[in-house]
Amino acid sequence: KEKENRVSITVIRRLPKYYRYLGELLKKGINRVSSQELSELTGFTASQIRQDLNNFGGFGQQGYGYNVEGLYYQLGKILGLDRTYNTVIVGAGNLGQAIANYKGFEDAGFKVLSLFDKNPKLIGLKIRDIEIRDVDELEDFIKENNVEIGIITTPKENAQEIADIYMKSGIKGIWNFAPADLKVDDDVVIENVHLNESLFTLSYFLKNKSDYVKN
């Protein structure tokens, strides 16, 4: 992509929130929303919202606001949610099973085709209808099933070796839950999810109840 078309990562990180609220408005049958109303929902300022959405062309109209369905559709396209993705999970323990059990990811277009583990007691079991396979089969499975996203829910000691297998198999997107800083090739994107960080932020807010500026 050309440089002038690039959008800042902080803008990108706000888009899923816009997308979620627009989806809720759409469900309620609301067709039109102003940046002010979006501001009340999301907590971002109206001017911030207008600026963010301007990055992607003029979705809004002076005095009208935004067409909810149109904006929802456009943001979905921008986020790559207008298609489906095959995913696999390595580490079929507590967290891996919980992710596989949550149907919401599949509803959003992210299908978990299989879990993988190295524990023989788990291999062959099913979570919903999703089988747990031997991690030795991971590479072949990825290549044969057009898997695009690899999820890591192993202990942190094993996370890098799984990332390496993912990359060797051609995976370009890794969703990592292990508390490890993984090294990945330049053409691979990795999103780290650390629930602890969110929890520690909560504890800060609890401790400093009024002593911070919202947003």
Nearest approach in angstroms of CB 179 to ligand NAI is: 5
Q: Which is nearer to ligand NAI, 74 or 154 (CB)?
A: 154
Enter the tokens of residue 35: 């940046």
Report which of 174, 94, 107, 96 is spatially closest to residue 130, judged by C-alpha positions: 96
Nearest approach in angstroms of CB 164 to ligand NAI is: 11
Q: Which is nearer to ligand NAI, 32 or 194 (CB)?
A: 194
Write out the H or E segment, with its range, that includes residue 192: strand 189-192
Nearest approach in angstroms of CB 197 to ligand NAI is: 8
Residue numbers at the binding site for ligand NAI (CB under 6 A): 90-96, 116-119, 122, 135, 153-156, 158, 161, 177-179, 193-196
Enter the tokens of residue 88: 């696999």
Q: Which is nearer to ligand NAI, 161 or 181 (CB)?
A: 161
Q: Return the bridge partners of 127, or none.
A: 130
- The DSSP line for 79-138 is TT-SS-EEEEEE--SHHHHHHHH-HHHHHTTEEEEEEEES-TTTTT-EETTEEEEEGGGH
How many beta carbons lie within 10 A of that of residue 106, not counting itself?
A: 15
Nearest approach in angstroms of CB 117 to ligand NAI is: 4
Q: Which is nearer to ligand NAI, 40 or 140 (CB)?
A: 140
Cα separation, 29 vs 68, in Å, equals 9
Cα separation, 191 vs 174, in Å, equals 6
Nearest approach in angstroms of CB 175 to ligand NAI is: 10
- The sign of the dihedral angle between the CA atoms of 126, 115, 85, 199 is positive
Cα separation, 116 vs 131, in Å, equals 8
Q: Which is nearer to ligand NAI, 10 or 196 (CB)?
A: 196
SS3 99: helix
Nearest approach in angstroms of CB 190 to ligand NAI is: 13
Q: Which is nearer to ligand NAI, 198 or 208 (CB)?
A: 198
